[in-house]
Copies of this chain bind each other. A is one copy, B any other.
Amino acid sequence: MRHVVPQRVADGRDTSVAGLAARAAAADTADPLAHLRDQFDLDEELVYLDGNSLGALPTSVPSRLREVVEQEWGRGLIRSWRDAGWWDAPERVGDRIAPLVGAAPGQIVVGDSTSINVFRLTVAGLRAAVGRDPRRTELLVDGTTFPTDGYLAESAARLTGATLVPCHPSELVDRLDDRTGLVLLNHVDYRTGELWDLPALTAAARGAGALTLWDLSHSAGALPVGLDRAEVDLAVGCGYKYLNGGPGAPAFCYASSDLQDRLDQPLAGWCSHADPFGMEPEYRAAKGATRLRTGTPEILSLLSLDAALDVWADVDLAEVRRKSLALTDFFVSCLDALAPPGSFRLLTPREDGRRGSQVALECDDARAVMATLERQGVIGDHRPPNVCRFGFAPLYTRFVDALTAADALSTCLRARVGIGRA
């Protein structure tokens, strides 16, 4: 992989590679979050722009997992459910995630996959909506959603008798009416990286008498979410993207304190029972976020996520957001400067307020382009048919990474349009 060597240039807006390199170096030097990269175990030579698929390994994880396996499991055995705090870990880790998404304690529980939790909360949300008003049998679903949310929403609608109505987020306000029970939306579009206005759309749904369920997979850990302030009803989020919990780390569920004790969820198991060790034949739902648990949590994956959250101890989310926008803006500037005109089409909005923490673009042969970049040590990902997606995890991504990736991509695009490098 070719690394760009920064050079001094007179004009900060110089759009030569050298000029861009100087801007990257200056931005990295000034970055108040730069020191956080040391808390991740990343190869210096790798440009990793796929933290929105799998977050990098926090240095706090390996030693903690060794302790969990060798001491808590090996020595403590079954006693660790009590003595090592395994039993309460779903609620305890949930309370650690809470400040990252603007939630007061007691509203988040961690466990199972995002998909399972979309199903759980869609059914619970539809039941709550119909319970308040029997006419509210419609489920409005973001038609641009990550497919699994759509599949599970369809299954939930089919099982509860609700009517599924696909709807683009931009049309939501016009589609809300007195039949709308629940609205399932993505905070950031997994494909384009477009950020939707969570407070405004939540307020619109609430104003129309509907409940909201937000999928925060591409926002939690990348930007401030503000669930409580926006009066969101329900949310799910991913543990393995910007929260760096490890491959397939469990997801999290949020239910507002107003709503949670009225929720009737379909995956009611022994761990969501009011007296889980009572082994009662009749189900009685626990109070609080515990009501959203099901079976025995996958402790190794859960405690990896727990350890991974250490990195957030003193992090200011406003700073994270500033850096995220600066990184994605800089990446787009680099592409504008370096890639042949017309060789790509940007899918991600250029306006700061409409952008999450990724940049997506369309180009010919996107799969082959991303494979070429991977061979050069620049990791992003491909989404069919022709989308190249680059995620900028603000805790460990550097401005120089953005430039290196844009330069490598531009070189690749230039080669494909038959223009040799000067």
Contact A277 B62 (CB under 8 A): no
Given known pairs A112-B116, A298-B298, the reply for A54 and B69 (CB within 8 Å) is no
Instruction: Please pick, from B54, B150, B271, the residue contacting A78 in the complex, using a CB distance under 8 A.
Output: B54
Contact A151 B273 (CB under 8 A): yes
Instruction: Please pick, from B146, B277, B300, B383, the residue contacting A304 in the complex, using a CB distance under 8 A.
Output: B300
A80 to B50, CA, bound (A): 13
Instruction: Please pick, from B69, B77, B143, the residue contacting A379 in the complex, using a CB distance under 8 A.
Output: B77
A336 to B325, CA, bound (A): 73
A152 to B320, CA, bound (A): 41
Contact B300 A266 (CB under 8 A): no
Give a binary string over A263-275; 1 marks a CB under 8 Å from any B CB, 0 the rest: 0001111110100
Q: How far is the CB of A155 from chain B (nearest CB, A)?
A: 5
Q: How far is the CB of A339 from chain B (nearest CB, A)?
A: 24
Q: How far is the CB of A390 from chain B (nearest CB, A)?
A: 12
Given known pairs A56-B77, A151-B269, A379-B78, the reply for A116 and B248 (CB within 8 Å) is no
Residues from chain B with a CB closer than 8 A to the CB of A240 are 296
**A329 touches B (CB below 8 Å):** no
A271 to B271, CA, bound (A): 25
**A228 touches B (CB below 8 Å):** no
Say which one of A100-108, A279-287, A346-354 lies at the interface with B. A279-287
Residues from chain B with a CB closer than 8 A to the CB of A248 are 86, 296-300, 302
Contact B70 A62 (CB under 8 A): yes
Given known pairs A62-B66, A70-B41, A384-B279, the reply for A268 and B301 (CB within 8 Å) is no
**A113 touches B (CB below 8 Å):** yes
Residues from chain B with a CB closer than 8 A to the CB of A146 are 270, 279
**A17 touches B (CB below 8 Å):** no
**A165 touches B (CB below 8 Å):** no
A248 to B273, CA, bound (A): 17
A66 to B113, CA, bound (A): 23
A9 to B295, CA, bound (A): 49
A250 to B297, CA, bound (A): 9
**A294 touches B (CB below 8 Å):** yes
Contact A148 B270 (CB under 8 A): yes
**A278 touches B (CB below 8 Å):** yes
Contact B266 A155 (CB under 8 A): yes
Given known pairs A62-B70, A65-B65, the reply for A296 and B147 (CB within 8 Å) is no
16 intermolecular pairs with C-beta atoms under 8 Å apart: A41-B70, A57-B74, A62-B70, A72-B247, A78-B381, A79-B374, A79-B379, A115-B296, A116-B269, A147-B273, A147-B281, A155-B266, A247-B296, A248-B299, A299-B301, A301-B301
**In the complex, the 6 A-B pairs of residues with the closest C-beta atoms, listed nearest first:** A113-B295, A115-B295, A115-B269, A247-B299, A298-B301, A148-B270
